[in-house]
Amino acid sequence: MRVAVLCGGVGAARLLRGLVPLVDGPDLTAIVNVGDDLELHGLHVSPDLDTITYTLAEAVSAERGWGLEGETWQAMDMVKRYGGVDWFGLGDRDLGTHLFRTHRLGQGATLHEATAEIVAAWDLDLHVLPVTNDRLRTLVTTVDEGEITFQEYFVRRQHDVAVTSVRFELAEGLLPAPGVLDALAQADVIVVAPSNPVVSIDPVLVVPGVTELLRSRRDDVVAVSPIIGGKALKGPADRLLVELGRESTAVGVAEWYREIIGTLVVDDVDASLTADIEAHGVTCVVAPTIMSDLKKATALGQVVLNASASR
């Protein structure tokens, strides 16, 4: 069974971990958000690509959910000494990834080529694709600072500030990365991972051709709600939905995705919302969606794969 997964960061990495035991590597493609990417200290940093790679390689920091286990911060301590940019933590091991990626991009490699080399170096056999090789940046307008980059919002401000709007800045002529539209067209199941709909999944959907393809294949698209009992497990998805005038519930998620998904998997605590979700023309599947260990992630992965088949 061929599976394509639209991914942001931590939540998507957890679900992918559950799908890896169920799907042959070459048949599993992660299509990953790059709107969080940033140029820092002259390096190209791709947080969502790295979070997925490190998580699947079982090397991710369990405590943080991003970056590597057993990190040290000597380089950042030196940057701090000099008064450099110190609000975005780049561990000494993690820096090696950014050094290599930046080196390869400088040699003329594309982001998807550099990513394939990094993923292969961690002995992973699924496809991890940036949704585009071109520059795409998520910009957030805050109530007190105006428009800032995603990482300034998420990390420097610890997303502890109200947002009035979100937009995506696409390079002129931006295209999907090679393989992205094919993976979506050929997948038996397209999965929208439980990432932040506003700032992690939407920047994937804005890439030309992606939304149109999902819309045409809506019945084969299954999303997992990142909102459980009205809250996001991690990050600002619940607050962003409310700040943007939507409801921070699984129904709000069904509404957000109604054009492109046929099925929404929601947690047991939201079983009572089934009728409201199905009123949006979205089939509702109720299952445990908190992936606190590999067994639970794999069980959810199985629910997602079965959900599409049952339509």
Do 282 and 275 form a contact (C-beta atoms < 8 A)?
no
Q: Which residue's Cβ has the minimum distance to ligand FO1?
A: 9
Collapsing DSSP to helix, strand or coil, 14 comes out as helix
- How far is it between the farthest Cα atoms of the chain? 59
Pairing, β 28-32 against β 127-130? parallel
Residue in 8, 18, 194, 236 binding ligand FO1, rule: CB under 6 A = 8
Closer of 29 and 151 to ligand FO1 (Cβ): 151
Using CA atoms, how far apart are residues 163 and 244, in angstroms rounded to an integer? 8
Binding mask 82-101 for ligand FO1 (x = CB under 6 A): ------xxx---x-------
What contacts 255, CB < 8 A, 6 or more positions away? 246, 247, 280
Binding mask 18-57 for ligand FO1 (x = CB under 6 A): ------------------x--------x-xx-xx------
Do 308 and 192 form a contact (C-beta atoms < 8 A)?
no
Do 256 and 240 form a contact (C-beta atoms < 8 A)?
no
Closer of 33 and 249 to ligand FO1 (Cβ): 33
Closer of 101 and 218 to ligand FO1 (Cβ): 101
Cβ-based neighbour number of residue 167 at 10 Å = 14
Closer of 89 and 229 to ligand FO1 (Cβ): 89
Count Cβ atoms within 10 A of the Cβ of residue 269 and give its class: 0-12 exposed, 13-18 middle, 19 or more buried: middle
Closer of 29 and 97 to ligand FO1 (Cβ): 97
Distance of closest approach, residue 254 Cβ to ligand FO1, in angstroms: 22
Instruction: Check residue 238 for interaction with ligand FO1 (CB under 6 A).
Output: no
Closer of 248 and 308 to ligand FO1 (Cβ): 248
- Only segment of 123-131, 149-157, 180-188, 209-217 that touches ligand FO1 (CB under 6 A): 149-157
Whats the size of the chain, residue-wise?
A: 311
What contacts 63, CB < 8 A, 6 or more positions away? none
**151-210: contacts with ligand FO1 (CB under 6 A):** 151, 154-155
Chain residues in the site for ligand FO1 (CB under 6 A): 8-9, 36, 45, 47-48, 50-51, 66-67, 88-90, 94, 151, 154-155
